[in-house]
Amino acid sequence: MLWDNVVGHSAVCLSLKNSVEQDRVHHAYLFTGPSGVGKFIVARTLAASMLCPEGGCGECNVCRRVMQEKHPDVRVIRPAGKNIPVETVREVRMDAFMKPSEGARKVYIFKGAERMWEEGASTLLKVLEEPPGDVVFILVTANPAGVLPTIRSRCQEVSFANVPLEQLKTYIMERKGISEERADLVVRLTGGVLGRALDWCDEQWRLARRDNVIKAARALKRAELNDVLQMASELYREVRAPVEELSATYQQRKRDLEDGSLDAGVVRRLSKDLDEALSRERVKEETRGVEEIMTTLSWWYRDILVMKEGGDPGLLVNRDLTGEIEEEAEVIPTRRLLDSIDLLAGGILAAERNVPVQLNLESTLLGLQEALYA
C-alpha cells in the first residue's frame, strides 16, 4: 500500500485513508506544515488511493502513473516564477467541469498554494464555492498565512509536523540500507527534512560536495586571490552539475510520454507542464545548490565554535570530521567564527535574491578569508 510508504504522519494518513475507504472525502484540502516534511507525497498518495481500485496498492497502472505525475486525472500545479498565474487557475477551473478521462474523480494538487495572487485566488474560490461533485482540490503550502482566509475556510485543513529525528533515522536506514552512522550524519546535515535526507542518500555527490566545500574553506588560510577565484569557479561547477542532470531527466520524461498510452492532446499538455516545471526547477536547483554550500560552511564554522567553547562533541553536525574541527578550533578566534557565520547568512540571502551564483560564491569566499585570517 502506498500509505505504508509515507514516513511519519501516521495519524494524518490514517484519517485520510479512512475517509477514502468510507467515501467521505472532502472536495478541498489545505495541507500545511514545514517544507520538505512530506505534504506533497501524502497529497499524491491521497490522489492515488482515490483512483486506484485497491485504494492505493502502489503497484497497478493507476498508482504508478499518479505517482509519476502521468495520470490524466491528477494534475499538479506549481508556481511559475513567483506565482501561480491566473491563466493557469482559469484553465483548471474550466477543466474541473469536464468529466474525468478514466476514473470517477479528478484531483488537482496545488503546490505552493500561497503563491496564488488575488485574481487567481478569487478564480479558485469560485470553483470551491460550487465544486463539481467529482473533483478534489489539494492545496499544499508551507505558509498558510499567505492563503486567502476565504479559501482556507472552504478547505479541510490538515497540518503536518516535523518527523522526529530518531524516526527519520530509522526510516532512512531501513529504506536505503545504510549504516546508523551515515544515517545520523545525513539527518544532521539536512536539518531533519525528510525529502532532503533521502536526496542525500541517493545523491552521493552531495556528501562529496560537502567534503570539497570544507576542503576549500580550510585552504582559504593560505590562498592567494587567484586561488580563491579558482575555488569559487570549482564550486560553481558543482552547483551547475545537478542542473544539467535535471534537464536530461526532463527530456527523458518527455520522451516517456510518447509511449502511445496517452492521446495527443494530453501529451501536449503534460509536455508543456514539464517544460515549465523544468525551467522553474533549474532556477530552484541552482539556488538550492548555493544555499547548501553556504549552509555547509555555516555548520562547519558553527561546529568549530562548539568545539572551541568546550561543547559536547555529540552536538557536532560534521561528527565524522571531529579531528579536523579540533585542529581549526585551536587557531580561529571565536569573534572571527561568529563574523563568518553572519557573512554566510548574507550569502544565503543573496542566493534567494538571485545574485549571480559565481559572483556570490566569489564574494563570500573572499569575505570569509578576510573575516577569518586578515
State which residue, 57 or 165, has the beta carbon closest to Zn ion: 57
Residue 52 interacts with Zn ion (CB under 5 A): yes or no: yes
Segment interacting with Zn ion (CB under 5 A) among 23-31, 46-54, 142-150, 306-314: 46-54
Dist. CA 286–CA 281, nearest whole Å:
8
Residue among 75, 80, 113 nearest 92 (CA): 75
Q: Which three cell numbers stand for residue 284?
A: 530552484
Contact 165, 192 (CB under 8 A): yes
For residue 33, the surrounding DSSP H or E stretch is: none
CA distances from 139 to 28, 127, 136, 170 (A): 8, 13, 10, 30
Residue 57 interacts with Zn ion (CB under 5 A): yes or no: yes
**In the complex, minimum distance from the CB of residue 54 to Zn ion, in angstroms, rounded to a whole number:** 5
Residue 67 interacts with Zn ion (CB under 5 A): yes or no: no
Residue 60 interacts with Zn ion (CB under 5 A): yes or no: yes
Q: Cα–chain-centroid distance for residue 151?
A: 24
Positions in 179-218 near Zn ion (CB under 5 A): none
State which residue, 46 or 293, has the beta carbon closest to Zn ion: 46
For residue 137, the surrounding DSSP H or E stretch is: strand 135-141
**In the complex, minimum distance from the CB of residue 46 to Zn ion, in angstroms, rounded to a whole number:** 13
Contact 317, 299 (CB under 8 A): yes
Dist. CA 314–CA 92, nearest whole Å:
50
Segment interacting with Zn ion (CB under 5 A) among 60-68, 101-109, 116-124, 236-244: 60-68
For residue 129, the surrounding DSSP H or E stretch is: helix 118-129
Residue 51 interacts with Zn ion (CB under 5 A): yes or no: no
Give the amino acid at 370.
Answer: E
Segment interacting with Zn ion (CB under 5 A) among 32-40, 47-55, 90-98, 99-107: 47-55
Residue among 48, 128, 51, 115 nearest 88 (CA): 115
Residue 63 interacts with Zn ion (CB under 5 A): yes or no: yes
State which residue, 33 or 56, has the beta carbon closest to Zn ion: 56
Residue 124 interacts with Zn ion (CB under 5 A): yes or no: no
Segment interacting with Zn ion (CB under 5 A) among 54-62, 208-216, 281-289, 303-311: 54-62
Residue 50 interacts with Zn ion (CB under 5 A): yes or no: no
Segment interacting with Zn ion (CB under 5 A) among 50-58, 138-146, 147-155, 203-211: 50-58
Residue 86 interacts with Zn ion (CB under 5 A): yes or no: no
Residues found near Zn ion in the complex (CB under 5 A): 52, 57, 60, 63
